[in-house]
């Protein structure tokens, strides 16, 4: 029998909270551990126009695993006709279960699923894999039995399936000067045994975006989400939820009603979603509207520990909005190495806030992340070169210029 998360988890936890501003010019009383969810391999890559080899994806994940980040979006089980870049996500899952990369800490690998069919495909793939028995797809091979699986047949592609949200080997401890950890705990020599697989699902805060992105209403989208959650919980799989266009919609404009975002977020939590990432998909969010949204979510009884924030940097406001989130108790943020990403349903929207920029900002405020920002900067430069695109991380480029002079 599937058991959903109790509704009481939504009870407001504002009692005894400080009313003083966090991250003032004089002190940082609210600084602490901040959770980074790296979305580059999924949300970052899915909007790229050129084909990305499977080996490049696996190498990106392998490098990210060595930075100290503990959550990585690895792929998406959607129809290839909607997102061709994610067509080999089953191969990514197969490889990470059979040959997990070495990492300082256990890593949770997340896969987006648009519906029950996508989750069922993920489960079939996972059930067929035994650690160490899957082919090592990170190395080129001429053996046809170990090549990535071919794309689905035309018949499978013809089946209607909604498009996805667009907006995530050295087992040594991270250096304290770049990870924001003053006294890191040395991890176990082997952390792969503690790796987890989780899923994410999505809905939207506006009807127009929901229709464009999933070809259904918000109510219909939530019904799909409930079916996904029920199946996931029956298999004891953790579930993240996305509420897209929470701070601006390409069809309805920048003034998305905070009460609508709160209503959708509460619906996801009540059906058993473990964490909701409130997403500024278009990058239209500003500090005042981010503050208003977070106050509305809190007033609705939604606890900050049940939330993450997901900012795009289209208008250069992502880090400002992150600080507003910190001031309101949010301690989980999505980001993408090198600022990878974009949104095909939002013309002009740029990538996610760069992980390097986010981590550099958090460390400057006295927060700890466990992430080696210099290693992350190296990865941002590498993947940008691999993709033939500009590195969108300002902090990353500045650090590399300093380190290499």
Q: Which of 30, 225, 249, 343 is catalytic?
A: 343
* Three-state secondary structure of the chain: CCCCCCHHHHCCCCCCCCCCCCCCCCCCCCCCECEEEECHHHHHCCCCCCCCCHHHHHHHHHHHHCCCCCEEEEEECCCCCCCHHHCCHHHHHHHHHHCCCCCCCCCEEEEECCCHHHHHHHHHHHHCCCCCCCCCCCCCCCCHHHCCCCCCCHHHHHCCCCCCCCCCCCCCCCCHHHHCCCCCCCCCCCCHHHCEEEEEEEEECCHHHHHHHHCCCHHHHHHHHHHHHHHHHHCCCCEEEEEECCCCECCCECCCCHHHHHHHHHHHHHCCCCEEEEEECCCCCCHHHHHHHHHHHHHCCCCHHHEEEEEECCCCCHHHHHHHHHHCCCCEEEEEHHHCCCCCCCCCCCCECEHHHHHHHHHHCCCECCCCHHHHHHHHHHHHHHHCCCCCCHHHHHHHHHHCC
Angle, alpha carbons 239-225-48 (nearest 5°): 75
Residue holding tokens 């790229």? 48
CA distance linking residue 306 with residue 278, whole number of Å:
10
Concerning whether 343 is annotated as a catalytic residue, the answer is yes
Active site (catalytic) residues: 343
């Amino acid at each position: 029998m599937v058991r959903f998360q109790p509704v009481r988890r939504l009870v407001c936890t504002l009692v005894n909270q400080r009313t003083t501003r966090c991250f003032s010019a004089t002190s940082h009383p609210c600084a602490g551990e901040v959770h980074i969810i790296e979305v580059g391999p999924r949300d970052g890559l899915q909007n790229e126009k050129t084909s990305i080899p499977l080996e490049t994806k696996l190498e990106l994940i392998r490098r990210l695993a060595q930075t100290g980040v503990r959550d990585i979006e690895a792929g998406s089980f959607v129809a290839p006709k909607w997102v061709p870049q994610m067509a080999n996500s089953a191969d990514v899952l197969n490889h990470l279960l059979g040959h997990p990369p070495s990492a300082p800490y256990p890593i949770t690998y997340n896969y987006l699923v648009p519906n029950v069919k996508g989750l069922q495909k993920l489960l079939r793939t996972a059930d067929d894999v035994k650690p160490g028995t899957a082919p090592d797809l990170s190395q080129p091979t001429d053996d046809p039995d170990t090549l990535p699986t071919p794309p689905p047949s035309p018949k499978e592609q013809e089946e209607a399936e909604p498009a996805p949200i667009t907006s995530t080997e050295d087992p040594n401890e991270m250096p304290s000067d770049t990870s924001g950890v003053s006294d890191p705990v040395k991890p176990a020599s082997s952390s792969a045994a503690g790796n987890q697989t989780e899923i994410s699902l999505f809905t939207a805060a506006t009807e127009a975006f929901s229709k464009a992105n999933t070809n259904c209403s918000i109510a219909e989208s939530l019904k799909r989400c409930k079916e996904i959650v029920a199946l996931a919980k029956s298999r004891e799989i953790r579930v993240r939820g996305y509420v897209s266009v929470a701070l601006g919609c390409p069809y309805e404009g920048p003034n998305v009603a905070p009460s609508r975002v709160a209503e959708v977020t509460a619906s996801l939590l009540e059906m058993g979603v473990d964490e909701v990432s409130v997403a500024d998909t278009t990058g239209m969010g500003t500090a005042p509207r981010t503050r208003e949204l977070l106050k509305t979510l809190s007033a609705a009884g939604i606890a900050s520990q049940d939330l993450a924030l997901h900012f795009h940097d289209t208008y250069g406001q992502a880090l400002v909005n992150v600080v507003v989130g910190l001031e309101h108790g949010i301690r989980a943020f999505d980001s993408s190495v090198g600022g990878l990403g974009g949104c095909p349903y939002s013309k002009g929207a740029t990538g996610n806030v760069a992980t390097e920029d986010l981590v550099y900002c958090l460390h400057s405020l006295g927060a700890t992340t466990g992430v080696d920002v210099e290693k992350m900067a190296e990865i941002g430069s590498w993947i940008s070169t691999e993709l033939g695109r500009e590195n969108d991380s300002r902090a990353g480029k500045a650090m590399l210029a300093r380190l290499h002079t």
